[in-house]
Amino acid sequence: MIEEKFDTTGVKHGTLTDFVVYPNPTSGYLKIQGQEMMQITSYNVSDVSGKSVLSGELTANQIKQSRIDMTSLKRGLYLVKLSGERINRVVKVVKE
């Protein structure tokens, strides 16, 4: 399900309500699971300075779940951008 929301400029934003990203904080693998997972095709992980540190393609398995391997990243705060044809969502993730 995609909810439509508008900011103060009147620009419409889609908000995903049908998938979860967990565990957060994570010490290794970040999991993405839910109905909307089938629409997500790629990810990009950036550090707080905006530098891209990890990216790739996502494919969901039969239980509509995928994962991102963050084991090689240092501890800290990261922005994970999940993208697809009609989806763009950024999630803040803490790496322990």
The pLDDT assigned to 59 comes to: 81
Q: Coil, strand, or helix at residue 66?
A: strand
The pLDDT assigned to 63 comes to: 65
Q: 8-36: buried (b, 16+ CB within 10 Å) or exposed (e) per residue?
A: eeeeeeeebeebebeeeebeeebebbbeb
Q: What is the pLDDT of residues 2-54, one digit of tens each?
A: 444 444 444 444 444 578 899 999 999 999 988 777 788 899 999 999 999 99
Domain spanning 17-95, CATH architecture: Sandwich (2.60)
Structure tokens at 95: 């790496």
